Amino acid sequence: MEQDKPRQIERHGVAAELWQIVSDFRWRILASLLFLITAKIATVAVPLVLKRIIDAFAAPGKLAMLPIYLLAGYAILRFLSTLFNELRDLLFARVTLRTVSAYAQKIFSHLHALSPAFHARRQIGALLPDIDRGTNGIAFLLNVALFTIVPTLIEIGLVLAVMLDRYSLGFAAIITVMFLLYAGFTLVFTNRRVMYQRRVNKLDSGAKGQLADSLINYDTIKYFANENIEAARFHDTMGKWQEAGMGNQKALFTLHVGQSAVIGVGVGAIMLLAGDAVWRGEMRVGDLVLINAYALQVCLPLNALGFVYREARDAWVNAERLFDLLREKPDIKDSPRLPRLHADKGEVVFDRVSFHYDPARPVLSDVSFRIPPGKTVAVVGRSGSGKSTLARLLLRFYDPVNGRILIDGDDISEVSPGSVREAIGVVPQDTALFNDTIGYNIGYGRIGCSRADIIAAAQAAHIHDLIDSLPEKYDTEVGERGVKISGGEKQRIAIARAILKAPPILIFDEATSALDSDSEHAIQQELERLSLNRTTLIIAHRLSTIVGAHYILVMDKGRIVERGSHRELLERNGMYARLWLLQQRMDETGAMQRETS
């Protein structure tokens, strides 16, 4: 019970939040309730009219006196019941759609606001079903509250009022007892079934995540011919899902059979009591039909109420993960109250910066350096030395554990993270592209730019001729993650995107790693032109690409171990010189192999 208290508190909070969203549509909700009540009155009136028609038919010699209005009224009441329900649905549809849309937009913005640490551990294939189930659950809960619980209680109340007014107390007593037994049984067994539904949802999200991960790594699976291994893993996951689903279905079976038993006993008792009254002449045949109709009219809402309560609990379970996601807090918040960074010169200073992702594994230790305005500083070192972390900290994906980072004298931890990133252009090692056109992906560097601007950026990145040779030119689709174009072409699109953004600060993170030697030389010239009069941080693996840098930092185990120009570092005969010699030998070996092949 103690574990349920946080969930109860959460449900109250979510209900209040839902009301805050739908409160703008008060008039629609009130009008929908009015149509709902009118529809239920028409529904309850139908058996009354039917009783009078049957009584008229049962009276010998009075058929000719049967009022036509009763037959017409019976048809009209049935039509009005349907009409008012449809009008109710039409009015309330905008409320539901607005609320679902609001939550979808909220989770979309929230996921983009979360830190890279969250996205590093998330599994996209499992995340999307959680969001989908959550938004569907919210839509169901909205409709349940207004269109099932309220009308069911109204209908049962109206039926009890008619029964108490026209017939003995026994009929109303049986209906009341049946309602209480049904409600109690449903509450108890539905609550027991929730744990099964949570397990089914967890395994379902896991299976979808595994499926997405396997498809993303399609090439790797093919490389190692491990299709059977992947199929076996998925078979095992689906086997667990099946077992959980069977447990859920067994719990559902017990619930449905118990509900039907309560209704069957209740209806049987009502019909026995009514049949006895007719046999003793205390009621007419029309009364028997009326009571039977009302008994069914109570049973159907009861069934609906049981179904809705069960589905509502499932909807809460489905929405739990969505609300859990919304409770995730970003490590770095971008508040409109924070001042914006105004980077005019573009001077960058790392002042005794230390950082770790895990306290047991420090990544940077007491790193200090300065990039003067308009100058280029390159960072080299072995894998894992902390080079790329410098870029992540400068972009304020993370904040330093110790020390500070300044741009034009402003501590970036005290300004809006968005304004920091607006001042920086990035060409990453692994370029991610939208599943859209080449033109869209280049134009993403400056939203709203013209096609002429996009073409100029592509020309500067030496990719315009290739694009122009394609049948659809800049309208060519690149595919999901850019799978329809080569790695080098993706890299040049990223360079064109950075050129279009034209920021005061640039970061090149292995920017030419995916290019061949000829393309690398051509792009390198463009990068040097792009870097002219811009503050530039180059994270490099190929030392030949950073020979012209004003300053070079050599990192090892999270510390700067050497710094100076290319010539100065070679003269010191330290780590940089050893890396340079090793790379020269590798380049010579590669050239010899190409000549002999």
Task: Quote the pLDDT of residue 350.
Answer: 92
**For residue 84, what are the CA distances in angstroms to 79, 358, 473?**
9, 61, 55
Residue 593 burial class via C-beta count within 10 angstroms: exposed 0-12, middle 13-18, buried 19 and up: exposed
Residue with tokens 């007719």: 278
The pLDDT tens digits of the residues spanning 524-547 come to: 777 777 777 889 998 887 787 788
Phi–psi pair at 378, nearest 5 degrees: -105, 145
Distance (Å, rounded) from C-alpha 37 to C-alpha 150? 9
Measured from the Cβ of residue 330, the count of other Cβ atoms closer than 10 Å reads 15
Q: Which residues of 17-35 are buried (b: 16+ CB within 10 A; e: fewer)?
A: bbeebbeebeebbeebbeb
Task: Quote the pLDDT of residue 1.
Answer: 42
From 94, 85, 95, select the one nearest 42 (Cα to Cα): 85
Query: In this structure, what token pair is assigned to residue 406?
Result: 């300044």
What DSSP string describes 506-524?
EEEESTTTTS-HHHHHHHH
In sequence order, the 6+-apart residues with CB closer than 8 A to the CB of 575 are 381, 554, 556, 561, 562
Q: Are 309 and 160 in contact (CB under 8 A)?
A: no
From 369, 384, 393, 417, select the one nearest 553 (Cα to Cα): 369
List residues bridging with 437 in a β-sheet.
477
Amino acid at 426: V
Angle between helix 487-501 and helix 451-460 axes, rounded to 10 deg: 120
Task: Quote the pLDDT of residue 145.
Answer: 58
Phi–psi pair at 13, nearest 5 degrees: -65, -40
Superfamily of the domain at 11-327: ABC transporter type 1, transmembrane domain (1.20.1560.10)
The DSSP call for residue 339 is: P
- Look at strands 505-509 and 535-539 and give their pairing: parallel
Q: Which residues of the chain have pLDDT under 50?
A: 1-9, 64
CA atoms within 13 A on the CB side of 311: 18
Which pTM was predicted? 0.65
Asked if the domains at 11-327 and 348-423+503-596 fall in one CATH topology, the answer is: no
Architecture of the domain spanning 348-423+503-596? 3-Layer(aba) Sandwich (3.40)
Domain extent listing, the chain: 11-327, 348-423+503-596, 434-489
- Residues present in the chain in total: 597
Task: Quote the pLDDT of residue 9.
Answer: 42
Distance (Å, rounded) from C-alpha 49 to C-alpha 469? 78
Q: What is residue 354's three-state secondary structure?
A: strand
Q: Are 130 and 206 in contact (CB under 8 A)?
A: no
Query: In this structure, what token pair is assigned to residue 106?
Result: 């909220």
* SS3 labels along 402-445: EEEEEECCEEHHHCCHHHHHHCEEEECCCCCCCCCEHHHHHHCC
Residues 183, 188, 193: CA angle, nearest 5 degrees? 120
Q: Are 332 and 392 in contact (CB under 8 A)?
A: no
Distance (Å, rounded) from C-alpha 314 to C-alpha 140? 10
Measured from the Cβ of residue 310, the count of other Cβ atoms closer than 10 Å reads 21
From 42, 136, 146, 46, select the one nearest 91 (Cα to Cα): 146
Q: Are 455 and 475 in contact (CB under 8 A)?
A: no
